[in-house]
Amino acid sequence: MARQEIDLKAAINAISDVVQNRPRPLRENDQIYMKTGDMVLQSELIADWADGKRLAFIGDGDAISICIAYLKKSEILDRGPIEITVFDFDERIVNAVTRFAEAESIPNLHSQLYNCIDPFPSVDKFDFFYTNPPWGASNNGNSVKVFTQRGIEAVGATGEGVIVIADNHDLSWPQQVLAETQRYALGCNFYVQRMSSQLHLYHLDDNPDLKSCNLYIKSLPGNTSISESRSIVDEKLLESFYGKGLQPKIQYVRERKRVDYGKAHDDEYEYELRSEPND
Ligand SMILES: C[S@@+](CC[C@H](N)C(=O)[O-])C[C@H]1O[C@@H](n2cnc3c(N)ncnc32)[C@H](O)[C@@H]1O
């Protein structure tokens, strides 16, 4: 089927609604958000790829899940997954998904609080998974492997996945991590179907030019390589998980109060009043 021409202005405005609803990123947990223009392109690509499928997101601070569901609901896209669930350890993100789904009446968009160090919950098997994990610059991609493992478990070892990771052809570590990730996928009987290179930019203050790719993987026919989902106990996999010396110490990020992310917060400003004319 030919790709649909999309109404770009309507799509950007819809993504703008999603961005307004996004909790502010916690850099120490590797929440670094994708730039808005790239979110439009990414949502279209992923909606097309996962058309008619049940799609699991292993972490999704970027809110690509919401974009895809909302663009389809608004009929800006005519394709997309039939069901989307976001698994994330940040309650602010989980609640932002649920609130958006309720406010916009999107019944097939769900979210669940989950830490990927823990066994994957026993839920109905998904068809596809998507993850934009911590990029593993300081642990040779081990954090990518943990998120990918949970994605593979989400699809019961039979299906497809997109892994969004750093892609720079001059720096050493992104090339090492790409190779490690592909090796890991092969070890799980998933092969690399294709790779769309250097697609996305991020609000990344210390390296604003670092781009990421979409790495598409697919299970080999008849793959049964999956065993029962277990906690990650191998300390080596958890070392420098979120960057050099940053181990995963947090079980969940809890939401303290419900904040309207689209409005200035009371503690950000104060009013200095004009003097009365006769003062
Ligand atoms: C690791 S960040 C990667 C950067 C990505 N561009 C983003 O900010 O969404 C992706 C998502 O994973 C979530 N995350 C981080 N650590 C997690 C963990 N241990 N278990 C589950 N989700 C986690 C974050 O809350 C975030 O939403």
pLDDT digits (tens, 9 = 90+) for 78-110: 999 999 999 999 999 999 999 999 999 999 999
Contact (Cβ atoms closer than 8 angstroms) between residue 91 and residue 253: yes
Q: Is the pLDDT score of 23 beyond 80? A: yes
* pLDDT of amino acid 144: 97
State residue 262's pLDDT score. Answer: 78
The answer, yes or no, to whether residue 160 has pLDDT greater than 70, is yes
Model pTM?
Answer: 0.95
- Does pLDDT of 151 surpass 70? yes
pLDDT band at 3 (very low <50, low <70, confident <90, very high): low
Separation of CA 60 and ligand 1 centre (Å): 6
- CA distances (Å), origin 10, targets 13, 70, 71, 231, 247: 5, 11, 9, 43, 41
Pocket of ligand 1 contains residue 115 by CB under 6 Å: yes
C-alpha of residue 137 to centroid of ligand 1, in Å: 15
User: Could you tell me if the CB of 30 is within 6 A of ligand 1?
Assistant: yes
**For the chain, domain boundaries:** 8-268
Centre of ligand 1 to C-alpha 134, Å, is 7
Cα 274 to ligand 1 centre (Å): 45
CA distance 110 to 34: 21
Pick the CATH number of 8-268 from 3.40.47.10, 3.40.50.150, 3.30.413.10, 3.90.1150.10: 3.40.50.150
Mean pLDDT value across the chain:
94
Query: What number is the average pLDDT over the span 194-220?
Result: 95
Ligand 1 lined by 29 (C-beta under 6 Å): yes
pLDDT of 164 > 90? The answer is yes
Distance 31 CA to ligand 1 centre (A): 6
Cβ(212) to ligand 1 under 6 A? no
DSSP string covering 160-186, please? EEEEEEE--SSSHHHHHHHHHHHHHHH
Our answer on whether the CB atom of 149 is closer than 6 Å to any ligand 1 atom is no
In the block, tokens 């996945």 appear at 161
H/E run at residue 73: helix 64-73
What is the predicted pLDDT for the residue at 1? 58
pLDDT at residue 2 in the model: 63
Shortest-distance Cα residue to atom 12 of ligand 1: 59
pLDDT of residue 279: 63
Summarize the confidence of residues 40-68 as an average pLDDT. 98
| Atom number in ligand 1 closest to CA 250 | 19
Percent of the chain clearing pLDDT 90 (strictly above): 81
| Whether the predicted pLDDT of 75 surpasses 90 | yes
Burial of 187 by CB count in 10 Å (0-12 exposed, 13-18 middle, 19+ buried)?
exposed
